[in-house]
Amino acid sequence: MGDAFDAVTDRARSRVDPDPTERERLGAVAETLIARAETAVEELPVSADVLQVGSTARNTWTSGNRDIDVFVRFPPKLSREQLERYGLRVGWEVLPDGREEFAEHPYVTGERSGFGVDIVPCFAVESAGAIQSAVDRTPFHTEYVATRLDSETAGAVRLAKGFLRGIGAYGSDLRTRGFSGYLTELLVLEYGCFRSLIESVAEWKLPVTIDPEGHGERSFDAPLVVIDPTDPERNVAAVCSERNVARLIHHARAFQDDPTVDRFVPDDPEPLSQEAMRAQLSDRETTPVAVRFDAPDLVDDQLYPQLDRSLRGLRDELDRRGFDPLRATTVANDHAVLFVECEVPARPAVERHVGPPVDAGEHASSFYEKYADSDAYGPFIDGNRYVVERSRERTSVRSVLEEQLFSIALGVDIEDALNENYEIMIGPRTATLAEEFGTEFARYFDPKP
């Protein structure tokens, strides 16, 4: 470490830090937006305060990732319906050319001078523990972080975000299941600087619990637990997958051993060609299977959990049937694909079925009688148990896919999509998927930590 570490992080800073011009422009735009929002609030029959939240309010935004989040905070005694109506009214005043979107509430989103802008209504609750909707928490987070970060630690947060983005673990959306901005900020506050963050994470033994305010009251079953300083009941890292926590440890250790600026640059492989994918499958001698269908029209936070669940359902079924899945993935754009690479394409017509111990009385007798006059081989006795070899329900991966796809636990919208239409691919034919998903399969066949 030492010079190399500093030299590399200096170079990384120049990638992630917004330049002074960008900063000044953002400040000026935010000021104008807030002023317009405050004017709009004055026209309402209720009082409300207007505040800037999010990374641009905390000086922790990284170059190019610059959304201005303006929250309009209403008294908690308002009904949800009133809040939404007033919130939208302010939103349209500030962004007359914006559009309405929906998260926890409907809100207005748009653009000003090249910056993305959201105007979001929330309730002015007493504390983050008393929220009425998820967004009510945000002002508490902003206040907590803003009062504790200085320009040096804010710089460390930007570096940490750049690092997490580089390794593909930044973002608490349900596709990434990585580290949110707030979580990154809390980690930097915990360890003080980027170097100390890297050194500490490299030594993490999971599960890791961090409780900045020492007020945690319950335990969480998660590899990483960061108790929200504004709400003792909440794990800020709840959405983080075990894999991403492990990946951060790996990359922290690797960066410590050999600091390079590459680790701040997302991996962007050349798309795999169909021929290359066919060659990979042929080298590996596996049995790949895929189900391809029109991706249901859902936001990523709804789509990916359903794809993951469907993939798990398919993989588990192939496993249960003895086709030994080796690896699997799901990919999506206009189409979505469940892809499983099996080790075994087929099993025999018979399967061993182990019954009860012969000395298990009634249970044993009825097993024997059930099979004595059946087509099964046996019952015979192995060790102290009855055993039969009965005919196997599914002898090939093909029959699982062709005959029982809909008996598998799929996401509900995925099932609907399959009801519309789908295509089953088995073996080398799956290589045609590289045409649409070359980058994804390039990653699949060159898997990295």
Q: CB of 400: closest distance to a second copy in angstroms?
A: 16
Residue 363 as a binder of a second copy (CB under 8 A): the answer is no
Closer of 32 and 365 to a second copy (Cβ): 365
49 annotated to bind ligand: no
The DSSP-derived string for 248-298 is HHHHHHHHHHS--GGGGS---PPPPPHHHHHHHHHHHT-EEEEEEEEPPS-
Closer of 15 and 327 to a second copy (Cβ): 327
Residue 390 as a binder of a second copy (CB under 8 A): the answer is no
| Interacting residue with a second copy among 28, 35, 134, 206 (CB under 8 A) | 206
CB-CB neighbours of 106 under 10 Å: 15
Closer of 217 and 268 to a second copy (Cβ): 268
Judge residue 240's burial from the number of C-beta atoms within 10 Å of its C-beta, 0-12 exposed, 13-18 middle, 19 or more buried. buried
Q: How many residues does the chain have?
A: 449
Q: CB of 442: closest distance to a second copy in angstroms?
A: 13
Residue 445 as a binder of a second copy (CB under 8 A): the answer is yes
- Span of 96-104, 143-151, 156-164, 348-356 interacting with a second copy by CB under 8 A: 348-356
Closer of 191 and 422 to a second copy (Cβ): 191
Closer of 270 and 283 to a second copy (Cβ): 283
3-state DSSP call for residue 226? strand
Residue 243 as a binder of a second copy (CB under 8 A): the answer is yes
Report the phi/psi class of residue 54: left, alpha or beta, with left for phi > 0 and alpha for psi in -120 to 50. left
Closer of 112 and 312 to a second copy (Cβ): 312
Check: CB of residue 166 under 8 Å from CB of residue 269: no
Q: CB of 274: closest distance to a second copy in angstroms?
A: 20
Sheet arrangement for strand 49-53: 49-53, 67-74, 115-123, 106-112, 99-102
Name which of residues 37 to 96 contact a second copy (CB under 8 A). none
- Span of 19-27, 117-125, 133-141, 282-290 interacting with a second copy by CB under 8 A: 282-290
Return the ∠ at Cα 307 (arms to 304 and 308), rounded to 5°.
85
Taking the chain, what is the end-to-end CA distance rounded to the nearest angstrom? 22
Name which of residues 146 to 205 contact a second copy (CB under 8 A). 203-205
CA dist 188 and 66 (Å) reads 20
The residue ranges of DSSP E strands in 62-198, in sequence order, are 67-74, 99-102, 106-112, 115-123
| Positions that interact with a second copy (CB under 8 A) | 203-206, 223, 242-243, 245-247, 249-250, 253, 283-286, 322, 326-327, 343-344, 346-350, 352, 357-359, 361, 365, 368, 377-386, 389, 395, 445-449
List residues forming the annotated binding site for CTP.
55, 58, 141, 161, 170
Which residues are documented as binding site for Mg(2+)? 67, 69, 118
